[in-house]
């Protein structure tokens, strides 16, 4: 039992150490201060840029999803064949898709309003 635990322990340790060796290859030697930072994967230098990139991402995803839901709602409406339950389902789908799109667009505008109120310069 102890032998199995020690084999698992050393396997995990060697696995972790192999990643630290790879990190040293990628990031190079540490700076004179001893701090070795990783590159910024977000491509945002300030908090404002970070919020702007997140809101742009959400606007793109929300816009794409709203477009798909509007198309789906239109498909439901066309294939409803006049049945009141299916027409109602299509109407609800279209309504919720449009409301969702409006919420996403207002959310992006809300960010600009907050930036204007607190005095953050726009990009």
Report phi then psi at 64, rounded to 5. -65, -45
- What per-residue confidence (pLDDT) applies to 11? 72
- What per-residue confidence (pLDDT) applies to 13? 62
Q: CA triplet 42, 58, 100: central angle to 5 degrees? A: 175
15 by Cβ neighbours in 10 Å (0-12 / 13-18 / 19+) ranks as: exposed
pTM equals: 0.60
Are 77 and 91 in contact by the 8 Å Cβ rule? The answer is: yes
User: In angstroms, rounded to a whole number, what is the distance separating the alpha carbons of residues 51 and 113?
Assistant: 13
What is the band of 45 on the pLDDT scale with cuts at 50, 70, 90? Answer: confident
Domain residue spans of the chain: 47-118
Question: In the structure encoding, which two tokens stand for residue 13, read together?
Answer: 């340790």
Average pLDDT over residues 16-45: 62
Chain mean pLDDT for the chain: 80
Torsion over CA: 107, 113, 117, 119 (sign): positive
Element (H, E) at 14: helix 2-27
Sorted by sequence, the CB contacts under 8 Å of residue 66 that are 6+ apart come out as 97, 98, 100, 101, 104
Average pLDDT over residues 85-98: 94
């Amino acid at each position: 039992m102890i032998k199995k635990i020690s084999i698992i322990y050393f396997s995990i340790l060697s696995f972790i150490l192999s990643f630290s060796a790879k990190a040293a290859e990628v990031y190079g030697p540490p700076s004179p201060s001893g701090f070795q930072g990783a590159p910024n994967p977000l491509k945002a230098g300030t908090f404002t840029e970070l919020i702007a990139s997140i809101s742009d991402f959400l606007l793109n995803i929300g816009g794409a999803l709203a477009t798909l839901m509007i198309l789906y709602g239109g498909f439901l409406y066309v294939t409803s064949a006049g049945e009141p339950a299916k027409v109602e389902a299509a109407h609800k789908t279209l309504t919720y898709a449009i409301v969702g799109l409006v919420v996403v667009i207002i959310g992006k505008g809300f960010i600009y309003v907050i930036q204007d109120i607190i005095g953050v310069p726009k990009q």
